[in-house]
Each structure stands twice: as C-alpha cells, then as structure tokens.
Structure 1
Amino acid sequence: MLSIASRALKSSTFKPVLGSISAIRTKVTLPDLPYSYDALEPYISAEIMEIHHKKHHQTYVTNYNAAEEKLEKSFQANELTEQLRLQNALKFNGGGHINHSLFWKNLAPHGQGSATPSGNLAEAINKQFGSFEEFQQQFNAAAVGVQGSGWAWLGYNKQAKRLEIATTSNQDPLLHLTPLLGVDVWEHAYYLQYKNVRPDYMKAIWNVINWETVAERLTKAQ
C-alpha cells in the first residue's frame, strides 16, 4: 500500500496517475482453511474455528476493503483529513487479515507432521532459548502477559540472525521481525472452550502447531 505522503502527492500534483492507482488496487479475500473446522479438535473446537474464520476474519477482510475504497475516493477528492482518519481502520483490519492468514497456516491437525521442531529450526530454538521446553515456557509467559487483546510471536531478527519472542497489541502485525509463528490471544480465539483461562488455551495449542510451516518461514527469512 502506498504511503499517505506519496499517495497524497500523487492525488494533488499528478492527477493523471489516479487511473493507474485505481487499476492496481485489489481487494483482499478470505483464504480457505487448509483443513476442516473440526480438524483441530479436541484442542480447538470446530465451533471456535468456524466463528473465528467465517465471522472474525471475514469482518477484517470486509472492513479493510471498505476502508481502501473510501481511501481511494479521498485521494480523488484530495481530502487529506479523510486520508489520515482512515489509517487506523486500514491498520487494524489489514493487520487482522495478515495475522490470521498466517495463523491458520501455523496450525495443523494433531499428529500431522512433527510434534516438535526439527532440523534447522530446532537448532535455532536450542541455541537461543536453551531447549524447546524453555522456549515454550517463555512464549507462554509472553502470551499470557498480553494485556487485553493481541498476539504472541516467534520472529526472526535478520540483523542479529537470531530468534526472538515478541507480542503485539490488538491486530498490530509484527513488523520489526520476520514472523515465523503467531498465536492469537484475543478471547474470541479460545473463550467458548477455555473461558477466560488463557494459560489452558496456550497449553493446548502446542498440540496443533504446524512446525513444518514455521521451519519453512525460517529458511526463507535466513
């Protein structure tokens, strides 16, 4: 997405390019899950997965597309105030779409693939955290410690060439690290099954993590 400054400049100074901006803008769409809604049971219920995917993620997609359409019109009308007002909606809903699109791929039915990291990923985890168990403890502590709604992440720091645990609030995407594993700790991700006991949800979710996807993302990041 073009920055506010660059798009505002285009709309106010280079009117002829508006047609090209409109032509390249594409709507985001709700991705299909790579498994059925009940595939993660008993750790995450089919009811949670269906509502989470078809209701919550779909809402982020719908609202992001609506905000993008309004933003395009504001550039055509040269309404800078409206352009600035829409940034929060774009960040929240766009982040919700990005985060969830990764989240679905970070999950897999229990027994599909390896139960724990292997190969290069396992070596990187052991190097940075001492052991897989210690990594899990630190990750869970970070996830449980998120105030309100947000995400817990395992990311790769390209500059330092190391793994790091991080958290983000609300639907903020992980920007300072390359995201490898993201766990949604909004209550809508677990409340119907685990009530307000986030630690129980975090304990259960390790049974359905897709370590192959995490390893592939690490390889690309490196």
Structure 2
Amino acid sequence: MLAFSISPLGLNLAPRASVRMAAGGEQILLARFGVPAPELSVDRRGALGLGAAACAALGTSMPAFAADDPMFTLPPLPYAYDALEPHIDAATMKFHHDFHHQAYITNLNKAMAGKPKADLVSLMPGAKAAKLNNAGGGHYNHCMFWSTLGPKAGGEPSGALGDAMAKAFGSYDDFKAQFSAAAAGVFGSGWAWLAVAKDGSVKIVTTPNQDNPLMDGATEAGLIPILGIDVWEHAYYLKYQNRRPEYIAAFYNVVNWAKVGEYYATAAAGKPIAF
C-alpha cells in the first residue's frame, strides 16, 4: 500500500471541505488508479503541494518553476466536496478535483514553461498539433465540469437554451435519452458534450480522452461546448464501479441549468467559454 504523508507538504487544511473517505475507498482508488487519496482535504493554497504528490504518484515531475510562477492554477470548487451527495460522493469529488485535475494543470504548466502566457481557451484550437490536448484539454474540460454542476440543481433548462434544446431534441426526456446513450457509448475514457453550432442550434457530440469540441478535428468545425459529462472511470468508479449508466442517470440531478444557460448565450454569440 502506498504511504502518503500530508504534513511535510505544509498543506493548509480547510475544515469546511474536510471529508473522510468511505470505508475502503482509499484502497479502492489506489488499486484502481494508483493516485494517493488522503483523508484530509486542502484549500487552494495547498494545491501545488497536492500537485506534487499527484505527479509523483502518476510518474511525472513537478516543474521547478511551478511553485513560483505557474501559468495555470487549480480553481477551487464552487461548493463543498459533499455538496453533490448522494448523486456524486464526496470522496470521488475530492479525489477527482484535488489530484486528477491538479495533475493536468501541473503537466500543462510544464509543457508551457518558457512560452508566452496564454489564456486557457486560446490553447484549445491548436491543442492537438501542440500536443496539449491531454493536459490542456484536461484542465479546460474539468473547469467546465465543476462550474456546470451544483447542489439543489437539476430540473430542466429554460429560456433560450430550453427553446434550442426543445427544437433539437423534442422533450427534455428525449434529450436525456440521447445524451445518456452518447455518454454510455463512449468507448474507454472520454466525454459527452452539449455543444452550440454557429447558427445557435445545439447538438450532442462525444470526444475521446481529454479532447473537446474546440479542438481542431475533434468534431464538426464551429461547435462550442457548454456542458460536458466526464465518463472516465475515476469520475464515478468509487460509488458506481462499472455501472456507468447509473452515474449518467444521477448526473442530471446536479446539472446547474442556469449556468449552462449563461454559457449558451455566450456560445450562441460565437464566443467559447473562457476559464
């Protein structure tokens, strides 16, 4: 079993988000993904320390510049780790955010070392050619994922987004059936997306790994993602094991349609969502 110590990292503990792993959860995550999952959580000030631990477990290295001048940093969750219970469990949220998302950021900072500063969204169109689709896409995709989820959410979309979805899919139940089928059908790891075309219509598309519709050749040209579901196993394995359809069904209970509606307005105006 991998030993992991928190105190040498000098982490600043955040009582609000402190979470205890479900019984056996740490062992399951370690065995499945090989990434440390400590019982105590940290706030944003501890993110670089967590990134170093995550990178060590993933067999990568923390760039020397990262502690002093990281181009990209881990955004804090806009809610507590347990806020999406019982649909997405607190242990998975902590593991997914603090380790997986941080590891993408660390690798992106390493890849961008010595290069001019850039906005994350500006890297997406050329991400594949620059070999940034895994690290850069991982950062972008997770920023969208966290921001479009929330407690006391769910329900149905309304306003301009609701109208566009009704035109494209029929009823909301029809949308869920099509989106669920697309997400369940992703082979291996990847994402299913609700994306906006140049004419303001909405479509469901999927991408492998950490690709997204903003990347060259990922899907039809011109699509702007406004909602994505992460169907990598680390997003649901601890609670749902291999039952991906159950995780997808639970996802609708925590979608923040008000935020997705804001993203729709931006995308319908031809602007990708910036993080």
- Give the TM-score taking structure 1 as reference length: 0.78
Per-residue deviation at 1:155?
A: 0.3
Distance 1:54 1:26, change over 3 A: closer
Which position in structure 1 is the counterpart of 2:242? 196
Per-residue deviation at 1:26?
A: 6.4
Q: Which has the higher contact order (CA 8 A, sep 6+)?
A: 1
Q: Mapping of 1:146-161 within 5 angstroms?
A: 146-158=186-198, 160-161=199-200
Which position in structure 1 is the counterpart of 2:144? 102
Q: Superposition RMSD on alpha carbons, in Å? A: 2.0
Q: Mapping of 1:8-23 within 5 angstroms?
A: none
Name the aligned partner's letter for residue 106 of structure 2.
T
Residue 195 of structure 2 corresponds to residue 163 of structure 1: no
| Structure 1 unaligned spans of 5+ | 1-24, 73-85
Residue 213 of structure 2 corresponds to residue 174 of structure 1: yes
| Structure 2 unaligned spans of 5+ | 1-68, 116-128, 215-220, 269-275
Per-residue deviation at 1:95?
A: 0.4
Greater displacement, 99-108 / 175-184: 175-184
Which position in structure 2 is the counterpart of 1:117? 157
Name the aligned partner's letter for residue 111 of structure 2.
A
Q: Secondary structure at the match of 2:195?
A: strand
Residue 183 of structure 2 corresponds to residue 139 of structure 1: no
Q: Is the Cα contact below 8 Å between 2:164 and 2:200 reproduced in 1?
A: no
After superposition, give the CA deviation of every residue in 1:67-112 in whole Å (9 maximum; x if it has no partner). Answer: 111x64xxxxxxxxxxxxx932x22100000000000001001x24
Residue 79 of structure 2 corresponds to residue 35 of structure 1: yes
Name the aligned partner's letter for residue 152 of structure 1.
A
Q: Mapping of 1:50-69 within 5 angstroms?
A: 50-69=94-113
Structure 1's consecutive aligned runs of 4 or more residues displaced over 2 angstroms after TM superposition are: none
Per-residue deviation at 1:165?
A: 0.2
Which position in structure 2 is the counterpart of 1:221? 267
- State percent identity of aligned pairs: 52
Larger Rg: 1
Q: Mapping of 1:71-110 within 5 angstroms?
A: 72=115, 87-88=130-131, 90-109=132-151
Greater helix proportion: 1
Per-residue deviation at 1:204?
A: 0.4
Q: Whole-Å Cα distance in 2 between the matches of residues 145 and 33 of structure 1?
A: 28
Which position in structure 2 is the counterpart of 1:19? none
